[in-house]
């Protein structure tokens, strides 16, 4: 009987969705984690709710989750951010490129550790509220929070760990404020600078103490976008979004690309390759500082530099053309430093 109680508790633990209460645990309590537990993504969900125009609530989710809890009680859940699902294709693309910047930060992780003693009676009570402390790593920032989760013993080998109440996350806490501004500008809408998160995760006890080998996720579960080539509307929408990222960098006053531009440009090359028959113009733009002639030559050289990089990824010779516009097409006020930064850009159309 005590043996069955422990595994259940362990499963709970596996719910490690967030729990951190690592005290010195006894050898008996540690048995709860024996063999480890594995997240069952097909029985799990992670959703977030955002608010635009002050009152319009939108619910989105992630299609690809993975997680486990080890014999020592350490738990980890990973979220593939490219699998964000807003139910609208170009909105998904905006979330990936403008907000989460998945080409730089492909996943978010939640880690925790829990005292097995907190779940020792789960087999009897079947459902229990548990206080947890968890660490969220998102967009290059790591922060620790506390919350309450509901652990429900579904069977001897399955446990559900769910949020007791929506969890509020502020974009400023994870250096996402600039991304939110880009979203607002791209969609021409005001969005509240926070979101609420809810989840319901199911963990299964590893048979024989061995974690199952996960099957490769279906493409739809990974990217939630059309496989193969895009249609013209999807291509044009993506090029407009990529023009808003601001993640192409040059050495000051020159056309030499900085290495940190590579992740975005590599993603761009993939999109161009999936738009057959379409010619993409790579446009270079500057602010108004300096002479007109110098700015025109610099913008032309920078556009050519980007084009050369993309051709190096194997794109067809007629897929790209480059053109420099100098300071003639500003999108912001050159009187401010923020405006000048926005005007120094590479566009795709």
Query: Residue 213 is encoded by which pair of tokens?
Result: 């080998």
What are the contacts of 262-269 at 24+ separation with CB within 8 A?
Answer: 263/103, 263/104, 264/97, 264/103, 264/104, 265/306, 265/309, 265/310, 265/313, 266/103, 266/313, 267/97, 267/103, 267/242, 268/242, 268/310, 268/348, 269/310, 269/313, 269/314, 269/315
Mean predicted confidence (pLDDT) in 92-120 = 91
Res 120: pLDDT: 82
pLDDT band at 114 (very low <50, low <70, confident <90, very high): confident
| Tens of pLDDT, residues 22-77 | 333 333 444 556 778 899 999 999 999 999 999 999 999 999 999 998 877 788 99
| Domains of the chain with CATH codes | 2-222 (2.40.128.110), 228-348 (3.30.1330.60)
| Tens of pLDDT, residues 196-243 | 999 999 999 998 777 776 665 554 555 566 678 999 999 999 999 999
Res 222: pLDDT: 57
Query: Is this model's pTM higher than 0.75 or not?
Result: yes
Mean predicted confidence (pLDDT) in 248-276 = 94
The more confidently predicted of residues 15 and 292 is: 292
| Tens of pLDDT, residues 180-194 | 999 999 999 999 999
Res 223: pLDDT: 53
| Tens of pLDDT, residues 308-349 | 999 999 999 999 999 999 999 999 999 999 999 999 999 999
Res 25: pLDDT: 35
- What is the DSSP-derived secondary structure letter of residue 256? P
Res 13: pLDDT: 42
Supply the mean pLDDT for the chain: 87
Cβ atoms of residues 255 and 297 within 8 Å: no
């Amino acid at each position: 009987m005590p043996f069955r109680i422990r595994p259940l508790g362990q499963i709970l633990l596996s719910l490690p969705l967030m729990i951190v209460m690592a005290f010195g645990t006894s050898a008996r309590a540690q048995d709860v984690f024996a063999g480890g537990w594995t997240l069952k993504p097909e029985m799990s969900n992670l959703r977030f709710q955002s608010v635009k125009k002050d009152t319009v609530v939108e619910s989105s989710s992630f299609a690809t989750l993975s997680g486990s809890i080890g014999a020592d009680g350490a738990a980890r859940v990973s979220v593939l951010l490219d699998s964000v699902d807003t139910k609208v294709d170009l909105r998904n693309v905006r979330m990936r490129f403008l907000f989460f910047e998945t080409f730089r930060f492909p996943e978010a992780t939640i880690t925790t550790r829990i005292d097995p003693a907190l779940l020792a009676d789960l087999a009897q009570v079947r459902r229990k509220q548990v206080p947890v402390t968890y660490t969220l790593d998102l967009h290059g920032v790591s922060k620790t929070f506390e919350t309450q989760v509901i652990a429900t013993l579904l069977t001897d080998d399955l446990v559900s760990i769910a949020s007791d109440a929506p969890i509020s996350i502020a974009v400023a806490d994870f250096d996402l404020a600039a991304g939110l501004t880009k979203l607002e500008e791209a969609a021409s809408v005001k969005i509240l600078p926070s979101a609420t998160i809810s989840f319901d995760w199911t963990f299964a006890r590893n048979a024989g103490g061995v974690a199952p080998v996960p099957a490769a996720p279906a493409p739809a579960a990974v990217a939630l976008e059309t496989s193969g080539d895009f249609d013209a509307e999807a291509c044009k929408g993506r090029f407009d979004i990529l023009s808003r990222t601001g993640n192409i960098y040059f050495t000051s006053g020159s056309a030499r690309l900085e290495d940190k531009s590579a992740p975005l440009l590599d993603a761009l090359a993939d999109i161009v390759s999936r738009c057959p028959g379409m010619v993409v113009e790579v446009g270079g733009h500057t602010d108004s500082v300096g002479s007109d002639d110098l700015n025109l030559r610099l913008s032309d050289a920078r556009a050519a530099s980007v084009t050369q990089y993309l051709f190096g990824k194997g794109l067809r010779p007629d897929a790209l053309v480059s053109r420099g516009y100098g300071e003639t097409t500003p999108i912001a006020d050159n009187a401010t430093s923020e405006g000048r930064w926005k005007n120094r850009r590479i566009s795709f159309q």
